[in-house]
Amino acid sequence: MDVTIEPSTVAGTAQAPPSKSYTHRAILAGGYSDSATVENPLLSADTRATIRAVEAFGGDVTRDAETGALEITGFDGAPSVPDDVIDCANSGTTMRLATATAGLVDGLTVLTGDGSLRGRPQGPLLRALDQLAARAESTRENGQAPLVVGGPLMGGSAPLPGDVSSQFVTALLFAGAATDAGVNISLQTELKSAPYVDITLDLLDAFGISARRTRDGFSVGGRQRYRLRDGAYTVPGDFSSASYLLAAGAIAGEDGVTVTGVYPSQQGDEAIVDLLGAMGADIEWDREAGELDVTADRLSGIETSVADTPDLLPTLAVLGATAEGTTRLTDCEHVRYKETDRVAATADALSTMGASVEETEDELVIEGGDSTLEGATLAGRGDHRIVMALAVAGLAADGETTLTGANHVDVSFPDFFEALAGLGATLTRSE
């Protein structure tokens, strides 16, 4: 599907979808349990991949037609040999979490994904699993999927780089709790995307699993049982997804935009609220009501690190392109290991729209200001975040912006274009 966006103003209220990161973890933790209920789950292409993985390991996930909650019957810490290959589709989170889970299986699991996922790094996780006595191989011996993984994962200590993906830590903590010995992770390099491990610790705690930070990494004790503390787990709203709606309001919402369903949690991408404020947007967060109000104002450029907030890079770059002065996004390298190299993809698309953008290995610098963005036909690159950020840029551009492959929003925010149109953006879809 292609989507064409006309220059538009936006106003009104939109609901943030449920958090993708919390939903993945809640589904998997439900799988590790005997049973669990997950309320307000995100149902998207990526979280469906995690449902498939849990079912492949012997669990069952059913959606309650009335409440939308997921009723999970889990494999209770002992996953069984999948009947078939696990297709993780486009989801890095699913692949990393399912790979470590496969280490607990008494037999072999084969994991694969789409072309993008088969190009993403898995080597550090494979080496850590190998160190913890599991079998973990890349069929092409290039540290990428397809992967073959087999148990038994005994547990113990494993070194891990921190600057490739925090999902390796998350994966080992989830599986480590079900090993005999537990798992100690010592980080060899500084941890990037650190708040995602905070999300993991938060979710594990809700399922009765004790895991903690250590002096040089993380540790989880073995022989723990996943048991949901409360009757059901409720997924909070997603701040990465909310960032597009908020950016739309900050750029094109003269009469104000309200985003609902945004309560405090461990999401690092809550930083978008302060970052928009620092850029000069008029933004207020009622944490108790879970509501964010933003009104467009003149924005000015900022310098900020995306070490903790990689998924905000495309949003911040688009905001920078419409702001006065320079926006410098630092600590970007790990943002190159996503569905696409998002540093290059963002730089390329904004340059095509006429912005002045410079890219180095670790930084993206956008000179905003004088000239408005020009509408253009832009490749979505099979990357949901690139599509959503560029759709927001299209609101402020001079002329039409067409995004190809815009259907990829299905990965994290299936109703994104409905939400944008609901705020008054003029857009048309074509096959």
Ligand X SMILES: C=C(OP(=O)(O)O)C(=O)O
CA 425 to CA 422: how far, in whole Å? 7
- Smallest gap from Cβ 383 to ligand S3P, in A, equals 11
Out of 87, 308, 311, 383, pick the active-site residue: 311
Residue 91 binds what, of ligand S3P, ligand X, none (CB under 5 to 8 Å, by partner type)? ligand X
Residues annotated within a binding site: 20-21, 25, 92, 120, 165-167, 193, 311, 338, 342, 385
32, 75, 174, 196: which one binds ligand S3P (CB under 6 A): 196
CA distances 43 to 37, 208, 296, Å, are 14, 25, 31
330: exposed, middle or buried (Cβ count in 10 Å: 0-12, 13-18, 19+): middle
Binding site for ligand X (CB under 6 A): 46, 91-93, 311, 338-339, 385, 412
User: What angle separates helix 313-322 from helix 384-396, to the nearest 10 degrees?
Assistant: 10
Residue 30 binds what, of ligand X, ligand S3P, none (CB under 5 to 8 Å, by partner type)? none
Q: Is the dihedral of CA 243, 417, 167, 181 positive or negative?
A: positive
Residues annotated within a binding site for phosphoenolpyruvate: 20, 92, 120, 167, 342, 385
Nearer to ligand X, 338 or 365 (CB): 338
Where helices occur in 103-230 by DSSP H, the ranges are: 123-131, 167-176, 195-206
CA 204 to CA 177: how far, in whole Å? 10
Contact (Cβ atoms closer than 8 angstroms) between residue 337 and residue 164: yes
CA 250 to CA 178: how far, in whole Å? 45
37, 167, 304, 315: which one binds ligand S3P (CB under 6 A): 167
- Does residue 216 carry a catalytic annotation? no
Residue 113 is a binding residue for ligand S3P (CB under 6 A): no
Beta strands in 152-278 (DSSP E): 156-160, 183-187, 211-213, 217-220, 233-234, 257-260
Nearer to ligand X, 88 or 209 (CB): 88
23, 33, 50, 193: which one binds ligand S3P (CB under 6 A): 193
Residue 266 is a binding residue for ligand S3P (CB under 6 A): no
87, 270, 308, 311: which one binds ligand S3P (CB under 6 A): 311
Nearer to ligand S3P, 311 or 348 (CB): 311
- Smallest gap from Cβ 90 to ligand X, in A, equals 6
Contact (Cβ atoms closer than 8 angstroms) between residue 416 and residue 244: yes
91, 101, 165, 179: which one binds ligand S3P (CB under 6 A): 165
CA 390 to CA 325: how far, in whole Å? 20
- Smallest gap from Cβ 49 to ligand X, in A, equals 9
Residues annotated within a binding site for 3-phosphoshikimate: 20-21, 25, 165-167, 193, 311, 338
CA 284 to CA 63: how far, in whole Å? 35
Residue 170 is a binding residue for ligand S3P (CB under 6 A): yes
Residue 193 binds what, of ligand X, ligand S3P, none (CB under 5 to 8 Å, by partner type)? ligand S3P
Stretch binding ligand S3P (CB under 6 A), from 53-61, 166-174, 347-355, 392-400: 166-174
Nearer to ligand X, 79 or 92 (CB): 92
CA 240 to CA 315: how far, in whole Å? 9
Helix (H) / strand (E) element for 304: namely strand 303-305
**Contact set with ligand S3P (CB under 6 A):** 21, 92-93, 165-167, 170, 192-193, 196, 310-311, 334
User: Which residue numbers are catalytic?
Assistant: 311
